[in-house]
Chain A
Amino acid sequence: MGLEILVCMKQVPDTQKVKIDPERGTLIRKGVPSIMNPFDESALELALEIKEAVGGRITVLSMGIPDAECILRDSLTLGAEKAYLLTKGDFAGADTLATSYTISRAIKTIGKYDLLLFGKQAIDGDTAQVGPEVSAYLDLPVVTFVSDVIKVEKRSVVVERMIDNGKQVIKAPIPSVLTVVKARQRLRIPTIDGIVSSFERNVVRLGPDDIGADIKRCGLKGSPTRVKKIFSPEGKGSTSYIEGNLEQMSAEFIDVLKHKGLYRR
């Protein structure tokens, strides 16, 4: 049958390696590598599996600085056919409202899609708002917390979604927006042939004019959200790290316990 699948993705700092400047309350980004948001990796893997099962084409879309092209290029090596990057100063500083507006404008411009996949949330902002907001702008149904696509039918998909006490199976119409959780198979590794064929494909860059966007609704200008303060939660007590191989670490740990009188043979 062949589905047109769109995967929206974001380049994020590897938050496992990010620290917060305690005085200024801002993220220290220096030297922190950028990665594809892990939830978006799951969404892309799901898209690739759907494509393998029923055929189709995958388009990837992102908004960010020019360097965000890296995650789109990686997607092309894995088998995405088309890639678009929204990158222009007017887009900078966007909150989820302005982001969703911009992305929905772009989607209306670049094509019609059967399934629109988002990672459930990005690991830097953690809002989980962009997928549902885009669905509102596009007037499409949305299924959040999707963990798998069980079946693709002619005009619908059957998906599994995670809920607090288990799983829920839902039939959603085509087209729909799905936001994907991380509990899936990890994003695959590209093949040599995949990398070579990606050389033929380019990442198309889009600005506000290309998507007919009102720049007052984009970027910082279109963002009512104000960040009042970012801070590290105050730690209680202190943390010390034990280094070395397993044996050395265990031995040192036992020493610490002994020192505190918590270890007896």
Chain B
Amino acid sequence: MLKKTLACTIALAALLAVGPAMADTKDKKIALSNNYAGNSWRQAMLKSWDKVTKQAVADGVVAAADPFTTSENQVTEQAAQIQNLILQGYNAIVVNAASPDALNGVIKQACDAGIVVVSFDGIVTEPCAWRIAVDFEKMGASEVEYLARKMPEGGNLLEIRGLAGVFVDDAISKGINSEAAKNPQFKIVGSVHGDWAQEVAQKAVAGILPSLPEIKAVVTQGGDGYGAAQAFAAAGRPTPTIIMGNRQDELQWWKEQKDKSGYETMSVSIAPGVSTLAFWVAQQILDGKDVPKDLTVPFLRIDQDTLEANLATTEKGGVANVEYSLADAQKVIAGK
């Protein structure tokens, strides 16, 4: 009895002694729960995850970092997937969610099971989870700010929105519209939904264009600028300033126009590598660091002078990207 108590005490003491030093994540397993993979942004996101986490596993930072993607982009399916991940004993789940609130139940289950949940891009509202959010309103506003500087005389704008009913679409559009209200020299004369897809944007713009007056600029949400350019060309209208969204086809088109006629615009979006930022944030939380629940991701903005450099590093059909390092994550956590 005495022996046993002694052994326990020693074990406990040993545990306490090494406690802080053991703040080590090499036995920890992190999973990525992803709801969709069917576009170039998501493909780049998964690729970045693969690249950074494989290295982290090889370096012994974590034991595993496995990505899981659902096939149908549906809440029920992702909820079932997260339930499986809980049962499989992951220590942290990094999630790009199909819905900001419909997954809250299963996210709470994960938290109750002692699992760290970090949401990014498609964030969740469940308070126990961390959120790496994008200030989409600010992103929309930055487009109009750029135009206000570039063309102080103003003019007519065409707005291409994203997928109706998704909060990202509402947020970017709100940013664009409130900034346009502050700059009354600009007038939004038309608005279509391009679903963040070039083909859909091209179709919608081609349909509304004949009924519109001269357009000075097109404000977009990314993944739609190239389609808009095709629609203007097909209609034989002068090419306006089209804000781009960092897709390779958009940058390539911009570069061609720049070389031909000195075309000027800017491009802004979120780097798909934000998945790697979420990975490092999860690792830091597992490491016992004090991380605020709400973090903000920086935008990746490309301007006239950084176009070539970014185009060179973006693969055909991909999206301009940056992968985040541990140091970057620590900076974001510190709020810098």
User: Do A and B come from the same complex?
Assistant: no
B→A interface (CB under 8 Å): none
A→B interface (CB under 8 Å): none
